[in-house]
Structure 1
Amino acid sequence: MPRFMRKGARLLAVGLALAMVSSCAVRTDQIARDPNTVRIALNGWVGYEASAEVLAYVLREEMGYEVQLMRVDEQPSWQALDQGVLDVIVENWGHEELMELYGPEGNGTVVDGGPNGNEGVIGWYVPAYMEEEYPEITTVEGLKEHTDLFRTAETGDKGEFLGGAPGFVTQDQGMINAFDLDLEIVYAGSEASQITEVRRRYANEEPVLFYFYDPQWLQEELDLVRVDFPDYEEGCADDLSSVPCDYPAYELNKIFRAGFVETGDPAYQFLDNWTWTNADQNQVAQMIADQGMDPTDAAEVWVEENPDVWRSWIPEGFEPLS
């Protein structure tokens, strides 16, 4: 039985200090670790943070583990798993190329942990008030006709397409090229910055066309409409310079360090059992981002209100501490 550790998940950063060496030469995921510590990647959007904080809270307060939440971007998270300095990514959006590199058909340092219960949808969005004024704007031809509505001082004669963080999964430039849209991508820099800008324009009923996704708590606050592109088909996004289709739907999944799986530890079993819904994630994310709650406090509120959900994640035979 893991021992109690101090309250509060430690928040660490994983960056250049990882000294990213070639992962093809040697399996590095067996680096010695404290078996009472679980190391969870913390990627840069609040929905992910909501999931990670709830899992950290239950692991810490109900199972007695120490938890390290380690801030790291999406792709470096996989490198960190490969090098043995992380144990799990809790929300993966595709990244088949990284699974080929690090998974069973590559060097074998990571394992697909199966669905986390969240359904991921990426797309282009406009506020509902724009569709009311220009009903055709959510079609490809209608959007093409009205790109001038989105012009800004920064984009000049082109309309602005507002992106989030440059490191997010994206095929936007390929869609712009394939559909011959007179648009220029401007990156807000982060999810938080993008939300701030979208909310500002929404409050003033200004035009805005932007990359967005679900699960995302802002979808519960603003009335947004997704632009309708041809459905995704296998292979249509293989050439990212020209993508004549919409984004695919993602069954979001967990990615484990192979050595962590091999331990069969109750912490691994707990994370393997974990699934929850978009509504669950959005509830916690909204408390963090919109209500300004400390992430640990938001996780505690959700855990206290949903014992029937999280208790099913506890491995059989393991007695929670409360």
Structure 2
Amino acid sequence: MKGSLKTCAVALLVMFALLVVGCQRQEEAQAPQRVDLIYVEWSSEVASTNVVAAVLQEELGYEVRLTPVSAAAMWQGIAGGDADAMVAAWLPTTHGHYLERLREQVVDLGPNLDGTRIGLVVPTYVEISSIDELNENAERFDGRIIGIDPGAGLMSKTEEVMEAYGLDNLRLMEGSGATMTAALADAINREQWVVVTGWTPHWKFAQWDLKYLEDPQNVYGGDEQIHTIVRQGLEQDMPEVFRFLQNFSWTTDDMQQVMVWNREEGATPYETAKRWVAENPARVQAWLR
């Protein structure tokens, strides 16, 4: 009798253990896969990355982790397989040196947006029109070019510009996209001369009357594109995600709409992205075909 009870107890324990293991495996099977997106905190890339995240989560059911980093860390994150994708590669000029070095370690899915541009930007009331006029007017600009984060391709390209044009009377100030626009706003409110590193699309062009300084030596290059870059192996690991990212593309008007919404009081980038996705179902479905 005792032996039978002991046998039954062991059998029950085994059944319970198998049930627990089975439940754990079922939960693991049902848990959504995670997609890691990496980006630079430019207002344009905040907009595009959150729209991609919203589609992945709201339409396809993936869990998404967003990681803001410097441009160098963004490229290295994809190359090293620490992140799955980015939709923030400005090519061929701004991030060209990163792609040249890491081309064999990443997968370029091509442009997701056409018609971008980088350069030095001033308010329209500033009475010069070309970069080669900056040095002789350095005092009017307080001897400064207001920049963004030091790892940005725009900053390294601006250093090349300063060398090419011999801008010895000016210093390139490091900061962020937010500090750059804050300095620009302050100068405009005071009607002072100011020059900043700029890019299009950006909400500042809708906010103020601005102009690019001409670049006779074409150091900044012409119009650019923003590309989608993914890690090697993503197509095999997450074919649905890969296909969506391959199809993802939109316009400067689309992006600027999201950026403007992000400026509204109380707005958050992800909720704004969900709003854009909800209002553009045909575009989203084209990405998911």
Please give the alpha-carbon distance, in whole angstroms, between the structure 2 residues aligned to 1:68 and 1:140: 40
Q: Does residue 1:121 correspond to 2:95, yes or no?
A: no
Q: Does residue 1:189 correspond to 2:163, yes or no?
A: no
- Are 2:138 and 2:170, in contact at CA under 8 Å, matched by a contact in 1? no
Structure 2 residue identity aligned to 1:57 = A
Instruction: Specify every segment of 5 or more residues in structure 1 that has no aligned partner in the other structure, as ranges.
Output: 6-33, 152-158, 233-244, 316-322
* Paired-residue identity, %: 30
Give the secondary-structure state (helix, strand or coil) at the position aligned to 1:58: helix
Residue 266 of structure 1 corresponds to 240
Residue 110 of structure 1 corresponds to 106
Shift of 1:268: 1.2
Shift of 1:229: 1.5
Q: Deviations over 1:27-57 (max 9, x none)?
A: xxxxxxx872211113221210111111111
Superposed, 1:171-250 pairs within 5 Å as 171-232=157-218, 245-250=219-224
Residue 48 of structure 1 corresponds to 45
Name the stretch that deviates more: 214-223 or 142-151: 142-151
Structure 1 residue identity aligned to 2:283 = V
Please give the alpha-carbon distance, in whole angstroms, between the structure 1 residues aligned to 2:100 and 2:231: 14
Structure 1 residue identity aligned to 2:122 = V
Please give the alpha-carbon distance, in whole angstroms, between the structure 2 residues aligned to 1:292 and 1:278: 24
Residues 68 and 200 (structure 1 numbering): CA distance in 2 closer, same or farther, change over 3 Å?
Answer: same
Please give the alpha-carbon distance, in whole angstroms, between the structure 2 residues aligned to 1:47 and 1:37: 24
Name the stretch that deviates more: 298-307 or 257-266: 257-266
Q: Deviations over 1:239-277 (max 9, x none)?
A: xxxxxx344432210111111023361111111100011
Give the secondary-structure state (helix, strand or coil) at the position aligned to 1:78: helix
Tell me the TM-score normalized by structure 1: 0.73
Give the structure with the higher percent helix: 2
Residues 197 and 96 (structure 1 numbering): CA distance in 2 closer, same or farther, change over 3 Å?
Answer: closer
Please give the alpha-carbon distance, in whole angstroms, between the structure 2 residues aligned to 1:100 and 1:129: 39
Give the secondary-structure state (helix, strand or coil) at the position aligned to 1:79: helix
Please give the alpha-carbon distance, in whole angstroms, between the structure 2 residues aligned to 1:81 and 1:162: 29
Q: CA RMSD in A?
A: 2.2
Please give the alpha-carbon distance, in whole angstroms, between the structure 2 residues aligned to 1:56 and 1:246: 31
Structure 2 residue identity aligned to 1:279 = D
**Max Rg structure:** 2
Give the secondary-structure state (helix, strand or coil) at the position aligned to 2:74: helix
Residues 267 and 185 (structure 1 numbering): CA distance in 2 closer, same or farther, change over 3 Å?
Answer: same
Tell me the TM-score normalized by structure 2: 0.81
Structure 2 residue identity aligned to 1:145 = E
Give the secondary-structure state (helix, strand or coil) at the position aligned to 1:172: helix
Give the length in aligned residue pairs: 255
Shift of 1:74: 1.5
Residue 8 of structure 2 corresponds to none
Q: Deviations over 1:49-99 (max 9, x none)?
A: 111111111111111111111222211122222332211011102333433
Residues 144 and 79 (structure 1 numbering): CA distance in 2 closer, same or farther, change over 3 Å?
Answer: closer
- Are 1:46 and 1:289, in contact at CA under 8 Å, matched by a contact in 2? no
Superposed, 1:11-160 pairs within 5 Å as 36-94=33-91, 95-104=95-104, 109-130=105-126, 134=127, 137-151=128-142, 159-160=143-144
Shift of 1:192: 0.7
Give the counterpart of 2:152 among 152, 168, 173: 168
- Are 2:111 and 2:228, in contact at CA under 8 Å, matched by a contact in 1? yes
- Are 1:161 and 1:209, in contact at CA under 8 Å, matched by a contact in 2? yes
